[in-house]
Every structure is written in structure tokens, then in C-alpha cells.
Chain A
Amino acid sequence: MTETDPIKFRCQGVNVWYGQTHAIKDNDIDIHDKAVTAFIGPSGCGKSTFLRCLNRMNDTIDICRVSGSLLLDGEDIYSREIDPVQLRARVGMVFQKPNPFPKSIYDNVAYGPRIHGLARNKADLDVIVGESLGAAGLWDEVKDRLAAPGTGLSGGQQQRLCIARAIATKPEVLLMDEPCSALDPIATETVEELISGLGERYCVVIVTHSMQQANRISRRTAFFHLGNLVEYDTTDAIFSTPQDERTIGYVSGRFG
């Protein structure tokens, strides 16, 4: 396993309960900066739940409890000093289904910078919006219709708009929860290229159902099964020389 990338998240003994259900069982994982890490596993294995721990999105679910230590740059994100709202500005998130706000394209991207006061004036904001749309590979397609509603874009464009929206708050980490599962193959390809590129600048964590996708875009892959982190290694190692029986079964398509 290459250890050249610095560690962004250091997670130890993480447990998650939904009511009585033990969704994540005592997992340890280190997530590296400036690289794409993929979480794979069958449905219900806890990979999305784990992802949602990393920006405390699980806080919005009443019955969810999280324990263990999750350090972001050495700082416990579940400590009292951390405001989940500020944390989420540092750890952005893109969801499974594209969810642009029913506002203009411009306002969608400007949403985060506005609430966090990142722009001093309109010109600043224009720059941020332009850069974010550019980084999401959407600028050329929408630069002439920034005032048009974001909900009017195609599915793939909407998802890239959501990525631009997440980038606009200048996060350190981008969490992506199956970002391509609602897209057609061509839009998927565009978004995958985008994610690969983002991996060079951000710590990107992506949950995916598609092993090919994990193989194509990630540097490291973690395989979850029934709430356990079964195996975590470089993507090449996971797909060519998996160690655990369950990983071998899953990546060879025998179950899941």
C-alpha cells in the first residue's frame, strides 16, 4: 500500500447504531488526502452510513448514534468544540440523486459562499461561481444561461451542478454518495472524469455500487460487508489480489 499521501481522516473504533440496529461495527480506517477513496460493498453494508459520519450528516437523523474517534487533520469532529455546520462547510457532500435547489444555476452555486460569507461583493461571488462551474466542467455549457433554473438541466448536468455547488464552499474533503447511480452511461463517464480530476486537489471519498467505477477512478478501495470494514487497500490490490474470502467473492461477482 502506498503511503505517500498524507492522511486526512483517521477513524478508530467507529460504531453507528440506528435505534437498535448496529449499522457500523467497530471499524478503523485512514483516508488519505489528495486521492480518491472508494467504498464498495453490497446494499445495506454500511458504506453510505460510514460516509455520512464523516460530515456528521447522521446528526440530522434522530435515532442515529455514533461512537469512536474520527479525526480530521487530528481534530475529533465529534468533539463538543466542533460545530457540525462549520464542519460541513469543510467536508462537502454530493448525493445519489442530483438535488439542485429550485433556484437559478447561479444561485445554486452561490448558495454556500453566501451563507458562509466567502464573497465580499458581487464580483467576488461571480469569480467563485465561475471557478466552481469551471472546476465541475459545466461552465461552457451553462455560461450563457446562469439565470435559468438549475432543475431544468439534464441529469448529468444537474449532478455536476451539485458538485460545483459543493466545491464553491472551498471544502477540504468531498463526500460522494453514489453520485452516478441516477445517471446514464455517457453522463456517468463525464462525472467520473471530473471526480478523477478532483482527486488531485481534494480528499474525495466516493460510495459506489459499481466495481468498475471504483476500479476506474479510485486510488484506494474499502470493502464493507454487514457493517464491517472487511478489507482496505489500494484499488489495484483489492481487485487483483484480494485477501479476504468475502472480498474475493464480491469482486469476482459471486455475491452482492
Chain B
Amino acid sequence: MLSWAALLVCALAVAGFFVAKGRAVALGGDTPAILHSRPVYHGGFVAIRTALAGLCVLIFGLILSNIAIRWALYSGLPAGLSGIERDLIVSDGVALAGGNLASRSGEARDVVAALYARLSMIQGWGLALASVGVAGFALMRGLRQVSIPFRARSRFERIVQIVLAISAGIAVLTTIGIVASLLGQTLVFFSEIPVWNFLFGTLWSPLSGVHDGAMDPGKVGAVPLFAGTLLITVIAMLVAVPVGLFSAIYLSDFASARARSIIKPMLEILAGIPTVVYGFFAAITVAPFLRDTGAAMGLSVSSESALAAGVVMGIMIIPFISSLSDDVINAVPQSLRDGSYGLGATKAETIRNVILPAALPGIMSAVLLGVSRAIGETMIVVMAAGQGANLTANPLEAVTTVTVQIVALITGDTEASTAAGPAFALGFTLFCITLIFNIWALRLVRKYREVYD
């Protein structure tokens, strides 16, 4: 019913567009320039106004009437039930009304089901009629306004501006919502576990005490996780920074146009490989290779090692660093290169003494963005780095990372409400770290821009 109403509203809007446009054209006659706004704006204004009026009634009506129906269902329940029982009866009643299976049957549930069926029938028809009616009213009013001096363009553009602002607002609101929920849950967790234990404890096994009733504050030390994340990030950057930077220098200052046209798309393909593919590449190809090589050299390399995960993560980050660095190196003006060549500098001297210093802030920010990607990366480490919280600086051993532990907590079979506490705390801390890195990187980029403008 409601979807038909929505379709009808849209159809009215489309019809309104053509009718209003036709009227405006007729008004203009042989001298269309006397119209304040071009016919298409008259059509657009009527259409957008009709659609907005109808859909707003539909959406807000739906939200409000749902609240009202809930209230009606609950107030119709017999007295003397606990909160959970009331919830159960209502949800069963709604399920019965929709023809689905309920957990139990009974008189109270049948009453709720009948009431719900009646109310939702009224809701559907009422909203459908109201929305189509309001849309039709808006359409009529809009059509009556079509005239030579009517400023349809200004009004249309105002509405478009509002729509754009709302779209921007959604991103902001989502960010605020996510941060707030992270922060709230984290604070709840820290009200049970001291912050110091979390930030400075070296033993991580948060769920081991849960079956005895409560988390053991001595076993929620996140240090091994952050150490593992740091270790893998360092290995990844040791791979990604030199390779990425050197390839950027090659691409921007040495490669022929032909080589560039082949290498650049290849790097972009590298950036397009899903991280889950990198993950099993690391686990199935790289890790055994490292283990066997290590064994041949007399080293004991764990089959899930920080080295394997870090190297593959580094490969994943190469295209980031090289493509961003390539951009900033190319942004160094040709005049600076000419100036250096004109003084008798070689290509290498020019790159080392002029181009890299000028591009350094941009390269730094590329590296920092790479670091925050490495910190947040999950799939590769889940598959290749291991699960056990192991505080070590040896890259040949298995370590675990913050993201791996969040995955383990949330996908594990401990009740979500219990496991979510440490997961939220880890997530929030991770968020803070990557945020700081990103802000730092963006500030560097801005500083860099000022050099030439």
C-alpha cells in the first residue's frame, strides 16, 4: 500500500514537471525571454515540491504512526507482566499478524495480533491517502503559480541547496554517531576495568574469566596487541616506503612515457586487489615460504609470523605511497628542475637536492596515510599474523594485532554484550591513533601546498 502511494507521488511529480513546463512554454509564446525562469525550472520546481511534500508526509507519518501503534499495543496488554514478557507478547503478536511463526500462542497474543492487523491497515490507508492528497495539493498550488514573473529558478536552486546541505550533514552526523557510540561503550567498559590496566597491562586474555562471572582486570592489558600492531606496521612500512618512493621517483623522472603507461596501471591494479586476497596470499604462499627459507638457514620461523603479514601488508601499501608520492613529485614545478639542470646538476643531484626536499612534506603525508592504513588493516593479519597475544619484538614469531582481537571478540561465541566491552575499548583507542595520524598527515599536506601557491 505504502509503496504504491510512494510510486503515485512520484508519478504526480513527473506529471507536474511536464504540465508546468508546458504551461511556462505556452506563457512565453514567441518571446520566451520574457519569462523570469526558463520553463524547465518551472517544471523542476513543481516536480520537486510535489515529490518532497508527498514523501515527507509518508516518511514522517510512518515514523510517528509506528510509535503510536507500539504505544497502543503495549497499553492494551493485561496488567502485571514483567518488561520482558510484554516485549515477547508484542513481538509474537506482530509476527502472528504477519502470518509468521510465534514463539508461543495464547489469548493475549491473539488480541495483540488482531489489534496490530487493524491498526496497520488503518496506518497504510491513512498514510497513502494523506501523502497522495498532500502531493496533489502541492501539485495544484505549484501549477497555479506558474507565471511570467514567478521566480521558479531561485526557488528550485534554494531547494537543491538544501538537499546538498542535508547530504553533507549525513556524513557529519554519521561520524558523530559512530564516535559517540564508541566513546559511550568505551566509558562503560572503563567503568568496570581501570584504564591503566588496559593501557599498560601486558597480559591479554579478556574472556578467560568471564565464565566465573567477571572479567579479570589483570588480563585485559592491551600492550601486546599494540606492540604487535606496531611491529607489523614497522615491517610493512620498511617494505612499502622504499619500494613505493623509489618507484614514484622512477615513474616521475626516469620512466619513458611508454614504461609509465604500463607501470602506472599495474600499480593501480595492485591497489585494487581485495585485502582478503592479500590475506590468503600471505597465509598460503608467503608464510610457508618464509618458514622453509628460515628452516634452511637454521632459523625457527613460526608458520604465522609477523614478518609474513608485515611484508604482504607492505606490498599492499606500495601503490598508495607510490601513487601519492608520484603526484607530489610531479607537482614540483618543472622550473625548479630546469633551474637545477641549468646549474649543471645531474638528474640524481636534482632529485636528491631539489625535488625530494620540495616534495618531502607531501611524501611524509603519503607515508603517514600508509601508516594509518597499516594500523587499521585487518584481513591480512587475521589470516597471517596469528591469534595469541604474544609480547615480542621478534618478527619471526606469531603476534596478534588490535584488529585481529576485535574480530576474534566479535565473531567469537561469547555473548556479544560481554565481548563488546573490550572490543569497543580497542576500537576507540585504534580510532584515536589513526585519527592523530590522519590529522598530522593532512596538516603536512596543507603546509606543503603553501610552498608554491
Instruction: Judge whether B339 and A162 touch: CB under 8 Å.
Output: yes
Stretch at the interface among B22-30, B181-189, B239-247, B352-360: B352-360
Instruction: Judge whether B357 and A115 touch: CB under 8 Å.
Output: no
Given the interface contacts A97-B335, A103-B357, A115-B353, does A88 sit within 8 Å of B451 by beta carbon? no
**Contact string against B for A residues 101-115, beta-carbon threshold 8 Å, 1 for contact and 0 otherwise:** 111000000011001
Q: Which interface residue of A55, A90, A102 has the most chain B CB atoms within 10 A?
A: A102
Residues of B within 8 Å of A86, CB to CB, are 344
Within 8 A of A (CB), among B431-452: 451
Residues of A within 8 Å of B451, CB to CB, are 102, 151
Residue B342 lies at the interface, judged by CB distance under 8 Å to chain A: yes
Given the interface contacts A62-B256, A169-B344, does A115 sit within 8 Å of B349 by beta carbon? yes
**Contact string against B for A residues 202-222, beta-carbon threshold 8 Å, 1 for contact and 0 otherwise:** 000000000000000000000
Residue B345 lies at the interface, judged by CB distance under 8 Å to chain A: yes
**Contact string against A for B residues 228-271, beta-carbon threshold 8 Å, 1 for contact and 0 otherwise:** 00000000000000000000000000001100000000000000
**Contact string against A for B residues 343-380, beta-carbon threshold 8 Å, 1 for contact and 0 otherwise:** 11110010001100110000000000000000000000
Given the interface contacts A112-B344, A115-B349, A115-B353, does A95 sit within 8 Å of B339 by beta carbon? yes
Within 8 A of A (CB), among B379-401: none
A13 CA / B435 CA spacing, docked (Å): 64
The contact of B340 among A55, A94, A111, A151, by CB within 8 Å, is A111
Residue A57 lies at the interface, judged by CB distance under 8 Å to chain B: yes
Instruction: Judge whether B349 and A93 touch: CB under 8 Å.
Output: no
* In the complex, residue of chain A having the shortest beta-carbon distance to the beta carbon of B344: A89
Residue B415 lies at the interface, judged by CB distance under 8 Å to chain A: no
Report the count of interface residues on B (CB-CB < 8 A): 21
* In the complex, residue of chain A having the shortest beta-carbon distance to the beta carbon of B451: A102
Smallest Cβ distance from B373 to chain A, in angstroms? 29
Q: Which interface residue of A89, A90, A97, A99 has the most chain B CB atoms within 10 A?
A: A99
A127 CA / B345 CA spacing, docked (Å): 21
Main SS class of interface, A: helix
Smallest Cβ distance from A67 to chain B, in angstroms? 22
Residue A120 lies at the interface, judged by CB distance under 8 Å to chain B: no
Residue A242 lies at the interface, judged by CB distance under 8 Å to chain B: no
A152 CA / B340 CA spacing, docked (Å): 19
Residue A225 lies at the interface, judged by CB distance under 8 Å to chain B: no
Residues of A within 8 Å of B357, CB to CB, are 102-103
Residues of B within 8 Å of A57, CB to CB, are 338, 341-342
Residues of B within 8 Å of A93, CB to CB, are 338, 342-343
* In the complex, residue of chain A having the shortest beta-carbon distance to the beta carbon of B352: A115
Within 8 A of B (CB), among A43-87: 55, 57, 60, 62, 85-87
A226 CA / B276 CA spacing, docked (Å): 61
Residue B336 lies at the interface, judged by CB distance under 8 Å to chain A: yes
Instruction: Judge whether B341 and A88 touch: CB under 8 Å.
Output: yes
Residues of A within 8 Å of B339, CB to CB, are 95, 99-101, 162, 165
A89 CA / B357 CA spacing, docked (Å): 22
The contact of A101 among B341, B346, B354, by CB within 8 Å, is B354
The contact of A85 among B335, B337, B346, B353, by CB within 8 Å, is B346
A87 CA / B343 CA spacing, docked (Å): 9
Instruction: Report the interface size class on chain A.
Output: 20 to 34
Instruction: Judge whether B342 and A101 touch: CB under 8 Å.
Output: no
A90 CA / B342 CA spacing, docked (Å): 10
Q: Which interface residue of B337, B343, B358 has the most chain A CB atoms within 10 A?
A: B343
Instruction: Judge whether A115 and B343 touch: CB under 8 Å.
Output: yes
Instruction: Judge whether A88 and B338 touch: CB under 8 Å.
Output: no
Residues of B within 8 Å of A92, CB to CB, are 342-343
A71 CA / B400 CA spacing, docked (Å): 69
Residue B333 lies at the interface, judged by CB distance under 8 Å to chain A: yes
Smallest Cβ distance from A79 to chain B, in angstroms? 18
Instruction: Judge whether B343 and A89 touch: CB under 8 Å.
Output: yes
The contact of A112 among B256, B343, B346, by CB within 8 Å, is B343
Smallest Cβ distance from B164 to chain A, in angstroms? 38
Instruction: Judge whether B341 and A95 touch: CB under 8 Å.
Output: no
Residues of A within 8 Å of B354, CB to CB, are 101
Can you name 29 A-B pairs with beta carbons within 8 Å?
A: A57-B338, A57-B341, A57-B342, A62-B256, A85-B344, A85-B346, A88-B341, A88-B343, A88-B344, A89-B344, A92-B342, A93-B338, A93-B343, A94-B342, A95-B335, A99-B335, A100-B339, A101-B339, A101-B340, A101-B358, A102-B451, A103-B357, A112-B344, A112-B345, A115-B343, A115-B346, A151-B451, A166-B342, A169-B343
Beyond A101-B354, A162-B339, 20 additional pairs, beta carbon < 8 A: A57-B338, A57-B341, A57-B342, A62-B256, A62-B257, A85-B346, A88-B341, A88-B342, A88-B343, A89-B344, A93-B342, A97-B335, A99-B336, A101-B339, A102-B336, A111-B353, A112-B344, A115-B346, A116-B344, A165-B339
